Amino acid sequence: MPVISTEAIVLQTFAYGDTSRILRLLTATHGLLSAIARGARRPRSQYGGLLEAFSRGTATIHMKETRDLQTLSGFDLSHSGQALGRDLMRFGGAALLAEIVMRTTREDSQPGLHALIADSFDTLEQAASADAEAVVLGRVWQLIALLGFAPELDACVHCGRPAGGEASRFDYAAGGVRCDDCSRDAPGRVLPPHALEAMRAMIRGTDVALTESRGHWWLLTRWLDHHVLEGATLQSLEFIAAARIDSCDS
Q: Which residues pair with 12 in a beta bridge?
A: 24
Mean pLDDT, residues 212-221 = 91
pLDDT surpassing 90 at residue 33: yes
Residue 212, classified by CB atoms within 10 Å of its CB into exposed (0-12), middle (13-18) or buried (19+), is: exposed
Whether pTM exceeds 0.95: no
Look at residue 93 and give its three-state secondary structure: helix
Binned at pLDDT 50, 70 and 90, residue 43 comes out as confident
Looking at the chain, the whole-number percentage of residues with pLDDT higher than 70 is: 97
Give the C-alpha separation, 152 to 171, whole Å.
Answer: 10
Helix residue ranges per DSSP H, 16-71: none
In angstroms, what CA-CA distances link 136 with 9, 96, 122, 126, 156? 18, 9, 12, 12, 27
User: What number is the average pLDDT over the span 82-89?
Assistant: 92
pLDDT at 69: 95
Topology annotation, domain 83-154+161-249: de novo design (two linked rop proteins) (1.20.1440)
pLDDT of 250 above 60:
no
- Which of the four pLDDT bands, split at 50, 70 and 90, describes residue 247? low
Q: What confidence score (pLDDT) does residue 142 get?
A: 96
Q: Is the pLDDT of residue 93 over 70?
A: yes
Give the domain ranges of the chain.
3-80, 83-154+161-249
- Is residue 236 over pLDDT 60? yes
Q: How far apart are CA 100 and CA 60, in angstroms?
A: 25
The per-residue pLDDT for range 125-184, each reduced to its tens digit, is 999 999 999 999 999 999 999 999 999 999 999 999 998 778 889 998 899 999 888 888
Domain 3-80 has CATH 3.40.50.80: no
> To the nearest whole number, what is the mean pLDDT of the chain?
91
What pLDDT score was predicted for residue 1? 64
